[in-house]
Copies of this chain bind each other. A is one copy, B any other.
Amino acid sequence: MFGRKGKVETSDPVVRKLMDIVGESEVLYKREDLIAYECDGYTMYKGMPRAVVFVQSTQQVSEVVKCLNKEEVPYIARGAGTGLSGGATPLGGEVIISMVKMKRMLHLDLENRKAVVEPGFINLKLTQSISDKGYYYAPDPSSQYACTIGGNVAENSGGAHCLKYGVTTNHILGLEIVLPSGEIVEIGKEGIPDQPGYDLLGLLTGSEGTLGIVTKVTVKVLKNPEGKKTVLAYFDEIDDASQAVSDIIAAGIIPAALEMMDDVAIEGVESAAYPVGHPRDIAAFLLIEVDGIVAGIDDQIEEILTVCKQNNVREVKVAKNEAERALWWANRKMGFGAMGAISPDYLVQDGVIPRTRLPEVLAKIKEIGKKYNLRIANIFHAGDGNLHPLILYDASVPGESERAAKAGSECLKVCADAGGSITGEHGVGIEKAAEMRFIFTDEEIAAQTNIREVFNPKDLLNPGKLFPQPGRCVEVKRAGQNEMQPVP
């Protein structure tokens, strides 16, 4: 065994250059250390990175990027790796720039309702660190105990409570970005809303790490609502549950959360860590939460109960206390993971449909399950039509992974054909790059890849993500054409 200093067992000159920037201890390069970085939460595709480098400052990010740019080595920024579409997964050979050590809160300004954090700051920690003062951060992905704000910006993450309050892009006031040139730019400085010029803040948010690396994030924080109340409603028919969703919104109520779970999903969560005792023979339940001024909440709850009863609800109840409310939510938030209790493997999909097409789309998804002989559970943010079919499969059965992937793609096609979209909050990444053609024409994809080329001209930053690859339009553009043209 050697001491570490000066004894690095690598002949990779790029690794040595990265060590010169960040220090030897901050670069992983051995195969056994790299295996953990072969994929993110989307485990169907894996690629071996060339190295992992831990950065601790914006300046270091800039220097690392300049170095990799010069060496023409592709690279990917990675947070906690909880993403569900392979956005932080290497195709093979990329350097992973890990942001997890940039995890400080830099500034908290409750008077102007904002906080400035580094990208490795964990989502849930933000709410935890301000809740005693009566504030919280709204976007709440189910992975919020682990996922980072930087990753949330890359994926424009949502969560159960995004119906009323909006997804990440609605809560980002400013970003500091290292561009693929190594330049550091600030957009949405000081968190003043609606800056003049082009909306680069919106453009960068949700760009899945293909336009720049986020090194600082200014987020909105919200005042805790004065009160909240939560309703659980059991339905014998999916159609009734769906109609209740539409009727609640039509009544002018915007609940903080409006979630649905079907029978297969209920079987999963009732077999996992936080069983509630949901009846096993219902078609679906709705979990509905209303927040705001206390005086207004009771009226809204009354109206929601009435709507449920008008739609043949079997049973409907209001959480008696905070403990019951917390249990209901723990049960719901376990949803994806709970599939592990009833299936060796599962694939989460993430389609969006107009609320009014819900019964029809769920019926088609059931048919897809039959066609591929796979069970499909459905958990979703019903209020905004964001559907998560969970396709249950067993990777040890030959061909079953492939069948699951095909079934997933067909579910997305059904959503797209219903006037919807192929992703609500999980991003495109590697997983759904081909499916972008379900909703975009060649011209529309070219309009986007042309923008990528402005920021990321060598396509070294997170290559192969977000758009169908290899894109001929990129080839055409590289040949020197400058106007936006349809791909020939």
Contact = CB atoms under 8 A, between A and B. Distances in A.
Contacts of A202: 169, 199, 201-203
Interface stretch (A6-14, A72-80, A292-300): A292-300
A184 to B, nearest CB: 8
Interface stretch (A58-66, A305-313, A325-333, A419-427): A419-427
A112 B355 contact: yes
Contact of A482 (B192, B207, B448, B457): B457
A341 interface: no
A201 B264 CA distance: 37
Given A181-B484, A203-B203, A483-B457, A440 B292 contact: no
Report the contact-size class of chain A (Cβ under 8 Å from the partner): 35 or more
A113 B425 CA distance: 21
A67 to B, nearest CB: 16
A214 to B, nearest CB: 15
A19 interface: no
A224 B486 CA distance: 43
A423 B196 contact: yes
B197 A466 contact: yes
B457 A356 contact: no
A439 interface: yes
Given A439-B189, A447-B200, A451-B451, A194 B169 contact: yes
Interface in A140-178: 156, 158, 167, 169-170
Main secondary structure of the interface of A (DSSP, over half): loop
Interface string A223-252: 111100000000000000000001001101
Contacts of A2: none
B181 A432 contact: no
A216 to B, nearest CB: 15
Among A181, A298, A447, A467, residue most surrounded by chain B Cβ atoms (within 10 Å): A447
Contacts of A462: none
Contacts of A467: 197
A35 interface: no
Interface string A358-390: 000000000000000000000000001100000
B483 A181 contact: yes
A193 B353 CA distance: 10
A196 B432 contact: yes
Interface string A205-218: 11100010000000
B194 A199 contact: no
A436 B196 contact: yes
A476 interface: no
A196 B437 CA distance: 11
Given A202-B202, A299-B295, A457-B482, A194 B424 contact: yes
Contacts of A226: 252
A345 interface: no
A455 B446 CA distance: 11
A484 B455 contact: yes
A315 interface: no
A185 B211 CA distance: 22
Among A201, A223, A421, residue most surrounded by chain B Cβ atoms (within 10 Å): A421
B354 A190 contact: yes
Contacts of A32: none
Contacts of A183: 443, 484, 486
B356 A197 contact: no
Contacts of A250: 111, 223
Nearest to A186: B444
A447 B185 contact: yes
A250 B156 CA distance: 27
A449 B4 CA distance: 48
Given A444-B186, A483-B181, A483-B457, A193 B352 contact: yes
A195 interface: yes
A428 interface: yes
A246 B352 contact: no
A227 to B, nearest CB: 10
A98 to B, nearest CB: 25
A196 to B, nearest CB: 5
21 contacts: A112-B355, A169-B194, A179-B447, A187-B444, A189-B439, A192-B420, A192-B421, A194-B352, A194-B424, A195-B421, A195-B439, A196-B421, A196-B422, A197-B440, A198-B452, A199-B199, A199-B205, A295-B295, A295-B296, A453-B454, A457-B483
Interchain residue pairs A-B with the least CB separation, the first 3: A296-B296, A202-B202, A223-B252
